Chains A and B, each alone.
Chain A
Amino acid sequence: MNGIITIAHLTLHEVRGRRVALAALILGVAFLAIFAIGFNYIYSDVTGATSPTSPIPRIQYDIALNFIVMAGLYAVNFLIVMMAVLTPIDTLSGDIRSGSIQTLVTKPIRRVEIVLGKWLAFWVILGVYLILMAGGVLLIVRVIANYTLPNAAQGMFFIFLEGTVLMTLSILGGTRLSTLANGVTVLGLFGLAFIGGWLEQIGAYNGNPTAQNFGIVASLFVPTEALWRLSAYYMQPPLVRDVPLTPFSIVSVPSVWMVAWAALYIVAALLIAVRLFNTRDL
């Protein structure tokens, strides 16, 4: 346990020392600033055009705001995906390539502690990043428009789960693949899930169960897009989520079992990562 904490600490130190955290923070703040400015203009347009004398129906107003917030969160989701894949992409493969793993592995700690310590560090980073980015978006719309997204907590949880899946895959790949091959593979898997998710929605919209099932199988293989759709499903009012074929439209609602599957998936990926790292010559 002590080993896990030390490795996690060392990894956090590395993320800071290599200025990954700084870059992510600066760009994150820039993203939130642009979102705040843009949201402010759109909001004043909506409210200005519909001055108190001719209020637009509350429902229409909510739909417009929800759409903008979802667009913001869709961008946050994309950033989370990138953070999840890229931050740990060379944490094992890089250390193996440089040989710095050798002084760690020969210490009296288990190899599993190295894998879990690194995983823990990137999990914490991912969580903090999600809270800052998604929390920032939610706070901005709250302050400017006094708008509260429905089921934001559930939505955030699914996005966090999605990020955790990708982050774990990135660590798993690093036990055997080179950094570049790992990046190509994990982003490729994400792309596969992405297409699978669209296939599922389009298939459901067109009433083509084969395409829909094909998409579901892809989501079982990599459950990331399904988790995003689930997140989007929860965070939109019923009227909006039925608008077909947007990145957040949910014609075919992923089963809640997908959450259990994703959790199981993460545990299995971690176990495989530990096993592959344990049996590897360094």
Chain B
Amino acid sequence: MIDLAIDTRGLRKEYGAKVAVEDLTLTVSRGEVFGFLGPNGAGKTTSMKMLLGLVAPTAGSARVLGAPLGDRKARARMGFLPEHFHFQDWLTGREFLRFHGRLYGISAGPLGRRIEELLKQVDLLDAGERKLREYSKGMLQRIGLAQALLNEPDLVFLDEPTSGLDPLGRLLVRDMIVHMRARGTGVFLNSHLLSEVEVTCDRVAFVKRGAVVRQMALAEQGGGVDVEIRLGKTNAALLAGLSQFGRDVRVDQDRVRMKVKDEARLPEIARWLVGQGAAIYHLGAERKSLEALFLEVMGEDERPG
């Protein structure tokens, strides 16, 4: 229990007759980078807001960093970057960070040092004395990220942190997430940008119409590995023999395709084929892309949100 950063059971949120989140049941380990995936309107932001204590759940229970939802002591160890943030734009970058740092209860000395450190990290040292109203969208996102890291949190919530950023900005956010993971900071990432989730996340949950439909570690990928083999000559006996290593063996033009459980099967297949006297021109494995997995999980009935 104690090593869980987030542990929720059947969290539910209704707004009148509308159900925003039907059933949020998931666990996130400490120090894990967790991707929360789903189409727009699936309830991702509402879920995150419940975990942060911004929105009171209608039903269900949850613990975040071992404390009940909205616990003040736990909040001191969390950071948050909202999606549609609109910060106090009459403040300069440094003033903005100073006020937020004071709200975390950080005293002046360490706070000053922390601010300089973070400004450097998000590449805004030279913009620290400029007012936020003069910042570009990317700069705002970065100062927002710095704000979420002021207290060196154990768990950071990022709601679509790279939406609206240019490729360089995305890269910076991605690097920072990698950096956080290296420090042992857990990250709960709301996103529909799958390629970036694929690069940064340890585990993901798919949410569809307000319910978690699948949770998995990215390394294991429930769907297995697609194998593509090109042989000099195929025959029915070879194909039948291959099916002992996996399933869905089929011929696709000059290639044989099949699914196996994991990559460890590949050398076995190669050995067996050589033993059968087959000429191997190509033997490759391909992980299913997160995008393919996403479409598979969401199903064909899901329409663009």
- Same complex origin of A and B: yes
Question: A residues engaging B (CB < 8 A)?
Answer: 2-3, 6-7, 9-10, 13-14, 17-18, 98-100, 102-110, 279, 281-282
**Alpha-carbon separation in the docked complex, A281 to B82 (Å):** 15
The 0/1 profile, CB within 8 Å of A marked 1, for residues 252-272 of chain B is: 000000000000000000000
Pairs of residues from A and B, 5 with the lowest C-beta to C-beta distance, nearest first: A17-B90, A108-B76, A98-B86, A107-B103, A281-B55
**Alpha-carbon separation in the docked complex, A7 to B102 (Å):** 10
Inter-chain contacts of B87 with A (CB < 8 A): 100, 103
Inter-chain contacts of A7 with B (CB < 8 A): 103
| CB <8 Å contact, B56 and A279 | yes
**Alpha-carbon separation in the docked complex, A161 to B75 (Å):** 37
**Alpha-carbon separation in the docked complex, A256 to B87 (Å):** 45
| CB <8 Å contact, A13 and B91 | yes
> What is the predominant secondary structure among interface residues of chain A facing chain B?
helix
Q: Flag whether B47 is at the interface (Cβ < 8 A).
A: no
Instruction: Tell me which of B76, B88, B103 has the highest count of chain A C-beta atoms within 10 A of its own C-beta.
Output: B103
| CB <8 Å contact, B100 and A107 | yes
Q: A6-B103, A13-B90, A106-B54 are in contact. List 11 more A-B contacts (CB 8 A).
A: A6-B102, A13-B88, A17-B88, A99-B85, A102-B80, A102-B82, A103-B87, A104-B103, A106-B80, A110-B72, A281-B55
Among B51-101, those with CB < 8 Å from A are 52-56, 72-73, 75-76, 78, 80, 82, 84-88, 90-91, 95, 99-100
| CB <8 Å contact, B105 and A108 | yes
Tell me how far the C-beta of B50 lies from the nearest C-beta in chain A, rounded to whole angstroms: 9
**Alpha-carbon separation in the docked complex, A100 to B96 (Å):** 12
The answer to whether A100 and B85 touch (CB under 8 A), given A108-B75, A281-B56, is yes
| CB <8 Å contact, A107 and B104 | yes
Interface size class of B (residues with CB under 8 A): 20 to 34
Tell me how far the C-beta of B39 lies from the nearest C-beta in chain A, rounded to whole angstroms: 21
Q: Flag whether B147 is at the interface (Cβ < 8 A).
A: yes
| CB <8 Å contact, A18 and B90 | yes
**Alpha-carbon separation in the docked complex, A110 to B75 (Å):** 11
**Alpha-carbon separation in the docked complex, A281 to B54 (Å):** 6
**Alpha-carbon separation in the docked complex, A9 to B103 (Å):** 11
Inter-chain contacts of A17 with B (CB < 8 A): 88, 90-91
The 0/1 profile, CB within 8 Å of A marked 1, for residues 234-254 of chain B is: 000000000000000000000
Tell me how far the C-beta of A178 lies from the nearest C-beta in chain B, rounded to whole angstroms: 16
**Alpha-carbon separation in the docked complex, A6 to B91 (Å):** 14
Tell me how far the C-beta of B214 lies from the nearest C-beta in chain A, rounded to whole angstroms: 28
The answer to whether A103 and B75 touch (CB under 8 A), given A2-B105, A14-B90, is no
Among B94-141, those with CB < 8 Å from A are 95, 99-100, 102-105
Q: Output the nearest chain B residue to A107 by Cβ-Cβ distance.
A: B103
7 contacts between A and B (CB under 8 A): A6-B102, A102-B82, A103-B87, A103-B100, A103-B147, A105-B53, A106-B52
Tell me how far the C-beta of B64 lies from the nearest C-beta in chain A, rounded to whole angstroms: 11
| CB <8 Å contact, A107 and B54 | no
| CB <8 Å contact, A99 and B103 | no
Instruction: Tell me which of A3, A18, A103, A279 has the highest count of chain B C-beta atoms within 10 A of its own C-beta.
Output: A103
| CB <8 Å contact, B75 and A106 | yes
Inter-chain contacts of B144 with A (CB < 8 A): 103
Instruction: Tell me which of A9, A104, A105, A108 has the highest count of chain B C-beta atoms within 10 A of its own C-beta.
Output: A108
Which of these, A14, A18, A102, A107, contacts B75 with CB under 8 Å? A107
Tell me how far the C-beta of A13 lies from the nearest C-beta in chain B, rounded to whole angstroms: 7
